Every structure is written in structure tokens, then in C-alpha cells.
Amino acid sequence: MARAANPHLKQQLVDAATEIFASHGLAVARVSDITDRAGASKGAFYLHFASKEAAYSEIARAFLDQLLVLLRTQSIAMCDACADGVPERVAQADHQFMEFLWQHRRPLAMVLDGAVGTPYASMQDEFIDSVLRHMRESISAHHRAYPQLANVIDAEFAATMATGTVFMYARRIIREHQPPFAAEHLVAFRALFAAGQSPEVAEMMRATDPTRSLLVDPAQPAPGATAP
């Protein structure tokens, strides 16, 4: 009881898979969930994708590729903006980035939440690592524009903090299905980086010993560690 060829079926399957993967996650999503939503049989799925995981990979990769293009464009704009000393342009780039995450919130949810614990967990890593690299470049540009900052604020720490903050906002987008009205937050964030010029900050940093290592015994292996 086959039906006539449907030239839109591939796109219908992609749309259905994006929604199902985003809301259930790769591991829990059933192929039958996807094909039911797309109005096709389970067999039809395998005419368009080699496997459930291949479908996930194809959709997530399309999103990550678009993200990488945006970040590359922004890194260039950011360098220009900083060299010109135009913080307003920097804030606009943040705005554009958050807008992108909001518009692509279903594939974003797939990448952040959908594949962890499966062979495609590396998609989340790629998202975070891409943002981290972008932040390193932006902050380097900032430090070139304002050399006095470089002595006070550690660039690697600032990039880690910025990326963690982006992750928290991305998480809010996909958890609360609400855009994060964070313009003022992003302004505060950029402002904070300029704060290293403060003599009070320099004084606090001199008051502690940065050579002390964080952990008592890094060589000690960790057991299940659920015992008290």
C-alpha cells in the first residue's frame, strides 16, 4: 500500500526530527515519533537517512555551520569595533548573537540537550568550544584596544566566564521558551571588563597569592565518591 512520491517528504522529516530531537533528545526520540509527525512510514525514514543518529548529525551540523559563520563575521567586526573604540558596536554584536540563538532555538536545544550520553555528545562540546574561541579573540581585541586591561584581567578567565554566561542564556532560551531580555546584562558584562582599570581591583589582586594551587592532591584518583 505504498503512496505516490512526495518531494517534500525529506523536509517534512527534517522538520519533524528537529522538533522531536529538541524536545525528547536523540536517545529517547523514537524513529516512529518522527515518522508519525511527518506522516510517513518507518521505512521511509531510511530512504532519506542512514540512521537515526545520521539524521541528528545532519540537522545539528547545519546549525553549527551557521553559528560558525556568524561567529567568524563577528570576530572580525569585534576587532574593528575595539580598534575604533566603539563599545556600542560591540553591544550590537552581542545582541545579534543572542538573536541568532533565539531564532534557532530548536536546533540549539538539540545540540545542547539532545545528544549527550550518545556518540554525538561532541556537538555540545563543539558549540561551547566555538563560543570560547570567539570570546578569546574578542577579548584579545579588547586588550589590544585597552592595553591597561591586559595587566589586570586574565584573558583566558574572561573568555571562560563569557562563554559560561552565554551558555546560561542559551539554556534559559531552550528551557523557558522565552527570549532572554538581556540587553542590560550584556551591557553590564562588557562594562565589567573595563573595570580592571580600577585601582581597588588591582589592590585586591595583589592581596592574594595567585601561585597557590587550587587543589590539595590532584594525583589522587576519584572513586564513585558517593560515600560520606
Partner DNA sequence: ACCTGAACACCGTTCAAGT
8 Å CB contact between 76 and 120 = no
Q: What are phi and psi of 28, to 5 degrees?
A: -85, -30
Euclidean distance between CA atoms 43 and 114, whole angstroms:
23
- Return the DSSP state at 215: -
Interface with DNA includes 73 (CB under 7 A)? no
In our burial notation (b when 16+ CB lie closer than 10 A, e otherwise), range 33-57 reads bbbeebebeeebbeebbeebeebbb
Interface with DNA (CB under 7 A), residue from 51, 148, 178, 198: 51
Residue 6 binding DNA, by CB under 7 A: yes
Q: Does 86 bind a second copy (CB under 8 A)?
A: no
16 contributes a contact to DNA by CB under 7 A:
no
Least Cα distance to 41 among 75, 69, 1 occurs for 1
Q: Is 215 exposed, middle or buried (0-12, 13-18, 19+ CB in 10 A)?
A: exposed
With binding defined as CB under 7 A, does residue 122 bind DNA? no
Q: Which one of 49-57, 167-175, 178-186, 212-220 is the stretch in contact with DNA (CB under 7 A)?
A: 49-57
Task: Figure out which of the listed residues 42, 72, 144, 175 binds DNA, where binding follows CB under 7 A.
Answer: 42
Q: Which of residues 191-220 bind a second copy (CB under 8 A)?
A: 191-192, 194-198, 200-201, 204-205, 207-208, 210-216, 218
Choose which of 72, 86, 116, 123 interacts with a second copy (CB under 8 A).
116
Of the candidates 188, 196, 94, 215, the one whose C-alpha atom is nearest the C-alpha of residue 152 is 196
CA pseudo-torsion sign 23, 29, 33, 35: positive
Which amino acid does the sequence have at 21? Answer: F
| Interface pick for DNA out of 14, 16, 19, 52 (rule CB under 7 A) | 52
Q: Is position 53 an interface residue for DNA (rule: CB under 7 A)?
A: yes
Candidates 41-49, 120-128, 141-149, 173-181: pick the segment binding DNA (CB under 7 A): 41-49
When CB distances are held under 5 to 8 angstroms depending on the partner's kind, the choice from DNA, a second copy, none that residue 99 binds is a second copy
30 binds, among a second copy, DNA, none (CB under 5 to 8 A by kind): DNA
The span from the CA of 157 to the CA of 210, in Å, is 13
Hey, which residues between 124 and 143 contact a second copy (CB under 8 A)?
125, 128
Residues making contact with DNA (CB under 7 A): 1-6, 9, 29-32, 40-47, 50-53
